[in-house]
Amino acid sequence: MTAEFAFLVGVAAAEALKGAGRAAPTVLIGRDTRRSGGMLTHALTAGLTSRGAHALELGVLPTPGVSFLCRSLNAAAGVVISASHNPFEDNGIKFFSADGEKLSDTLELEIESYLERAGMLSAVTGADIGLSERYNRQEGHDYRDFLVASGPDLTGLKIGIDCANGASYELAPEVFTALGADVHVIHADPDGININTGCGSTHPEAIQRFVQRENLDLGVTFDGDADRALLVDRSGRLITGDHMLAICALYRHEQAVVSTVMGNLGVEHYLEKRGVSFYRAAVGDRYVHEMLRAKGLSLGGEQSGHVLFLDKAPTGDGILSALQTLSAVRGSSRPLEAWFDEIIMYPQTLLNVRVAPEVKARLAEHTQVMAALAQASERLNGEGRVNVRPSGTEPLVRVMVEGRDQLMIEQVARDIAAVVEQATL
């Protein structure tokens, strides 16, 4: 991700938004703590303003905060410069619509078409050039106020927070403190390089150790842009997005929820025994969101802690998800560890098999692979589940097997992986 490319994205976005009916569209720009974030913000701002759009720079802010402000500030669009849970050297540009949702396919294609001809546009000059401003949080429309209003009274709880040296490093401690918690913070000292490094939701062992060492009541850990969160109980046990989905579903009296093909079978069985239907979408919050909309539902999410509460916000929000889960826990008058003990997770194992691109693209056509999957399902005999899917970004096939017996699922996964490997020959 280069400054030159970010500039062109700004040019293309401004033209596409003007074509969608906004004469001088205002675009919000937020970012996480990566070193390249400032550079890319300035380049994107230059591209937007060079084509007559106005840029409102939000500074470091969690991804869902940009989504929230799109609606409250009546912006034409929002942009987040972040690579989420990836290493610091990566970065990306993510757009939100005026409603705080992901852009429509139509507008995305329009931006892409302008990217190809950005250098051929006639110049914008004089008073037609856009404005660039910095957002002043003190003027209202505050995302922090929304989060505090969404949370329970946390008085009396000692809570550990791992900010992943990312976008939540100031906001999350403020919110939990405002709700009355005795907050103990780690990894809230970003230097532009240390985001997600040995910390945050991709390394939950950090908060697990911290909670146990400091004798805390629970812990919360975010990823770099704070659109996902995981919890830890007082014993240091990890509360995944699957747990959070189940806890909130029961407390909110949901009729049905949406997970993904990677959602734990134990949670599916737990909820269905309690009258909650369990739907599975493809991996990715976009697909969870689409299925929620299609079925008229509010609650869905992924194991990673990316949970959607569509009655609260149009996108995944780590701080909101943690607060909603703790609202359910507090409202149930049962501690987090009691929920953990009740929701029995099935063991899962995941193997990544490197394959040739043509094998990845036509996996379902390999009869040996399909036969291995049928045999695996027979061996699991209704007490487990197999999911084999191509990676969306790498030349890999991911083999996931889950069931009651850890040794069996590991062997089944190895057997399937061996057949997939042979399919590459």
194-222 pLDDT, tens digit per residue, is: 999 999 999 999 999 999 999 999 999 99
> Which pTM was predicted?
0.91
Q: Which pLDDT value is given to residue 23?
A: 79
Same domain, 173 and 254: yes
Q: Which pLDDT value is given to residue 141?
A: 63
> Any catalytic annotation for residue 122?
no
Same domain, 108 and 219: no
Same domain, 76 and 132: yes
Domain of 369, CATH number, reads 3.30.310.50
- Count of domains forming the chain: 3
CB 103, CB 66: distance < 8 Å: no
Whether the per-residue pLDDT at 89 is higher than 70: the answer is yes
Domain-terminating residue out of 114, 137, 160? 137
- Element (DSSP H or E) covering residue 57: strand 54-60
Structure tokens at 28: 């919000």
Q: Which pLDDT value is given to residue 38?
A: 96
Same domain, 97 and 175: no
23-36 pLDDT, tens digit per residue, is: 799 999 999 999 99
DSSP string, 143-182: HHHHHHHHS---TT-EEEEE-TTSTTTTHHHHHHHHTT-E
**CA end-to-end span of the chain:** 35
Of these ranges, 165-174, 372-381, 392-401, the one predicted with the greatest mean pLDDT is 165-174
Same domain, 333 and 192: yes
Read off the pLDDT of each residue in 127-148 and give the average, rounded to a whole number.
87
Same domain, 355 and 330: no
pLDDT class of 17 with cuts at 50, 70, 90:
very high
Q: Which pLDDT value is given to residue 392?
A: 73
Query: By percentage, how much of the chain surpasses pLDDT 70?
Result: 99
- Pairing between strand 299-301 and 307-309? antiparallel
CB 278, CB 285: distance < 8 Å: no
In a domain, 260, yes or no: yes
Same domain, 366 and 324: no
Same domain, 13 and 132: yes
Mean pLDDT of the chain: 93
> Which candidate in 36, 50, 67, 84 is catalytic?
84
Whether the per-residue pLDDT at 350 is higher than 80: the answer is yes
Q: Which pLDDT value is given to residue 25?
A: 94
Whether the per-residue pLDDT at 191 is higher than 60: the answer is yes
- The more confident residue out of 311 and 363 is 311
- The more confident residue out of 382 and 163 is 163
Cα separation, 142 vs 41, in Å, equals 21
* 167-196 residues labelled b (16+ CB within 10 A) or e (exposed): bbbebbbebbbebebebbbbbbebeeebbb
Helix (H) and strand (E) counts for the chain? 15, 17
Domain-terminating residue out of 137, 161, 181? 137
Q: Which pLDDT value is given to residue 394?
A: 79
Q: Which pLDDT value is given to residue 104?
A: 85
Same domain, 83 and 174: no
Domain-terminating residue out of 137, 164, 185? 137
Strand partners of residue 127: none
Same domain, 323 and 410: no
CB 255, CB 295: distance < 8 Å: no
> What number of CA atoms fall less than 13 Å from residue 187's CA on the CB side?
30
Cα separation, 259 vs 278, in Å, equals 7
Same domain, 71 and 199: no
CB 187, CB 337: distance < 8 Å: no
In a domain, 52, yes or no: yes
pLDDT class of 165 with cuts at 50, 70, 90:
very high
Judged on CB neighbours under 10 Å (0-12, 13-18, 19+), 221 is: buried
Whether the per-residue pLDDT at 328 is higher than 90: the answer is yes
113-125 pLDDT, tens digit per residue, is: 998 887 778 888 8
In a domain, 71, yes or no: yes
| CA 287 remoteness from chain centre | 12
Q: Which pLDDT value is given to residue 252?
A: 97
Cα separation, 256 vs 315, in Å, equals 19
Domain of 259, CATH number, reads 3.40.120.10
- The more confident residue out of 154 and 88 is 154
Read off the pLDDT of each residue in 81-93 and give the average, rounded to a whole number.
92
In a domain, 108, yes or no: yes
217-275 pLDDT, tens digit per residue, is: 999 999 999 999 999 999 999 999 999 999 999 999 999 999 999 899 999 999 999 99
Which of 7-21, 268-282, 304-318 has the lowest average pLDDT? Answer: 7-21
Same domain, 269 and 180: yes
Whether the per-residue pLDDT at 138 is higher than 90: the answer is no
In a domain, 144, yes or no: no
Whether the per-residue pLDDT at 363 is higher than 90: the answer is no
Alpha carbon distances (Å) from 398 to 281, 348, 368:
16, 13, 16
Read off the pLDDT of each residue in 108-113 and give the average, rounded to a whole number.
91
In a domain, 142, yes or no: no
Q: Which pLDDT value is given to residue 424?
A: 62
In a domain, 143, yes or no: no
Residue in the structure block whose two tokens are 């826990």: 329
Identity of the residue numbered 154:
L
Which of 130-134, 328-332, 381-385, 404-408 has the lowest average pLDDT? Answer: 381-385
Q: Where are the alpha helices (DSSP H) in 179-264?
A: 205-213, 241-251
Judged on CB neighbours under 10 Å (0-12, 13-18, 19+), 392 is: exposed
Q: Which pLDDT value is given to residue 389?
A: 87
Range of the domain at 359: 348-422
In a domain, 122, yes or no: yes
Query: By percentage, how much of the chain surpasses pLDDT 90?
Result: 80
Cα separation, 248 vs 322, in Å, equals 10
Residue in the structure block whose two tokens are 């329970």: 152
53-77 pLDDT, tens digit per residue, is: 999 999 999 999 999 999 999 999 9
Whether the per-residue pLDDT at 425 is higher than 60: the answer is no
Q: Which pLDDT value is given to residue 22?
A: 72
